[in-house]
Structure 1
Amino acid sequence: MEAYIKHISYYLPTEVLTNDDIVNQFPEWDNEKIIQKIGVQSRNITRNDEFTSDISVEALNALCVEHCIDKSEIDFLLICTQSPDYFLPTTACIVQDKAGLSSSCGAIDINQGCSGFIYGLSLAKGLVVAGIAKNVVLITAETYSKHIHPLDKGNRSIFGDAAAATLISNHGEYRLGEFSLGTDGKGFENLIVKNGAMRNRKTSENEVPNDNNLYMNGPEIFNFTAKAVPTLISDNLKKNNESIDTVNQFIFHQANTFMLEYLRKKINIPSEKFLIDMQSYGNTVSSTIPIALKNRLDLQIKDDKILLAGFGVGYSWGSVVIYNK
């Protein structure tokens, strides 16, 4: 049995943070600098009363409405998030109820970041191929803006909030090929929210960014990415008996345009085969790949083979080739 990506939909919160908004708060920053360094013009941000379960339900409802999906046929729900509503219960349980899914639907969270869509696809494929589920919905949803201190202009410029819902089934448009996955936990402190869980309880808020907030060591993340991703792509191409020449399109995690261009050139991927789609969304963590893939599919371009690759927080990385049947 095979597993396929059947449909994708996504939801963007209605509040928009533009570069002009950021520059108005931080006059030393300017629009051209943000575009040059990051490649983002605007990003969507959740309201103070809007959380991961809310945007997950919106994405799931969009999926069902856009593609005429009967919710009773969804028999497994995977939610990938690092900004859950609560420590417990899982956000997936909340979404199952809010979205009106059957009580016979399995529902679990996975805590994974920038590689989360690839990891989620691998789990969904396992469920379908094993016959455990027929229709798995993978939701990638993040409200990273709630982790970021208001005075952290760098991370506020990079990250946006979003949720994407992907239906994986035993039939569909794109067959899931072989996966390459990896982890190197030695770099875990380089992208982290240190306080708030059991090891380090959250402290009182400070007027400046502290360990309650998202911290990213940009240079170390870049070094990790520059080392791990070319090897990842080489390995996954070999696993799928493909080459750069035989793959029609490469869709990487949309981290920032500087990093993406660096990787493209290092791996020798032609620019016409390399998708960059983040200017209006920012880095939406685990949702960057499904958003970019959905936008690509909406153009009705029949790519025979697309390589997807995610990498980042953890450190973790993953890749898969998907095939138009």
Structure 2
Amino acid sequence: MKSYIKAISYYLPQFELNNFIIEKSFPEWSIDKIAKKTGISSRYIAATDETSGDMAIKAAEKLFEEHNIDKLSIDYLILCTQSPDYFLPTTACVIQEKLGLKTSIGAFDMNLGCSGYMYGLGLAKGLIFSGQANNILFITSETYSKFIHPQDKSNKTIFGDAAAATLISSEDGFAEIGNFEYGTDGKGANNLIVKNGAMRNLKNNNEAIQDEFGNYLSDDYLFMNGSEIFSFTLASVPKLIDNTIQKNNLLKENINLFVLHQANMFMLESLRKKCKIENEKFYIHIDNCGNTVSSTIPIALYHAQNEKLLKKSSNILLAGFGVGYSWGGTIIKVI
């Protein structure tokens, strides 16, 4: 049983946080410095009363409208988010009702970050292969901005909010989904974490300290050890790429385009050079939306397709990596 990516759409919130606004709040963090270090000029931030569930619904509605999809054809819903509307019920159940999907479908949330798109594709392929579903609505939606301390200039600069909706089908699509490679190393869990708010540390303490770079850090907010994340990425992703290629019985020269998680420009360029990938085969789309966590790969695919870079019979390598630590990759073949 084959599985295909049939269509992708995405949604960005209304408020644009550009580098001019950030520089006004942090004069030492100049526009040129931000652009050079991150490759990001603007990112979009969810409104105070806008949730991941709200954005997921808007992304799905765009998918139905842009690609003329009958929502009653959906027989499974997967939502990937680390910022759900509630502890319970699962946000996917709320989305099912608000979208007007059938009640005879499966629906669940999965808690994964920057590797989430890869894991969601793999789960969707498994559901199709086992005969449990034919048309899966897979949504990635994240409001990391709500985890970031107002004075944490580093994370505020990198992350943007977004939602992407992907239809995965057993029937047809623009690209067939190949074999997967996964990885997990929980030893790195504390290097990208929001410690307070869930069951391990339920109560917030609202204490913040200032680090050597002037960022305010608190266990109530997102903490990212940038140097450790960078080291993990450079150690794990080249192996991930090689193993993904091998699992799909291909050679590196058979890959026509690499679409990796869009973390930041410095990390992407470091990976490209270490993996010895040509510029023209390495797709980057981060400038006008920032690191949107689990939505970076579908957003990049959306634009690569619109730019006619997904040519017939080409092999596109997808790879996600980050919080967990967690990583995953696959190859899609354009039909």
TM, length-normalised to structure 2: 0.96
CA contact (8 A) 1:244 1:269 kept: no
TM-superposed CA distance for 1:101, in Å, is 0.8
Partner residue, 1:201: 202
1:212-240 Cα distance to aligned partner (Å, 9 max, x none):
00000000000000100000001011111
TM-superposed CA distance for 1:321, in Å, is 0.3
Q: Which runs of 5 or more structure 2 residues have no equivalent in the other structure?
A: 209-215
Partner residue, 2:265: 257
Counterpart residue identity of residue 50, structure 1: E
TM-superposed CA distance for 1:205, in Å, is 3.0
Partner residue, 1:68: 68
Q: Distance in 1 between matches of 2:41 and 2:307?
A: 22
TM-superposed CA distance for 1:301, in Å, is 3.1
Partner residue, 2:332: 322
Partner residue, 1:135: 135
Partner residue, 1:309: 319
Q: Among 273, 289, 303, which residue is 1:295 paired with?
A: 303
TM-superposed CA distance for 1:16, in Å, is 0.6
1:25-78 Cα distance to aligned partner (Å, 9 max, x none):
011110111111111000000000100110000000000000111111101000
Q: Which runs of 5 or more structure 1 residues have no equivalent in the other structure?
A: none
CA contact (8 A) 1:92 1:109 kept: yes
Partner residue, 2:247: 239
TM-superposed CA distance for 1:206, in Å, is 4.3
TM-superposed CA distance for 1:204, in Å, is 4.2
Within a 5 Å distance, the mapping from 1:154-193 to structure 2 comes to 154-170=154-170, 171-193=172-194
CA contact (8 A) 1:137 1:167 kept: yes
TM-superposed CA distance for 1:254, in Å, is 0.3
Partner residue, 2:55: 55
Partner residue, 1:84: 84
Counterpart residue identity of residue 303, structure 2: N
Q: Distance in 1 between matches of 2:207 and 2:14?
A: 28
TM-superposed CA distance for 1:172, in Å, is 1.1
Partner residue, 2:16: 16
TM, length-normalised to structure 1: 0.98
Q: Distance in 1 between matches of 2:271 and 2:48?
A: 36
Counterpart residue identity of residue 308, structure 1: L
Counterpart residue identity of residue 72, structure 1: L
CA contact (8 A) 2:76 2:136 kept: yes
TM-superposed CA distance for 1:256, in Å, is 0.6
Q: Distance in 2 between matches of 1:311 and 1:177?
A: 18
TM-superposed CA distance for 1:244, in Å, is 2.2
CA contact (8 A) 2:23 2:31 kept: yes
Q: Distance in 1 between matches of 2:111 and 2:322?
A: 13
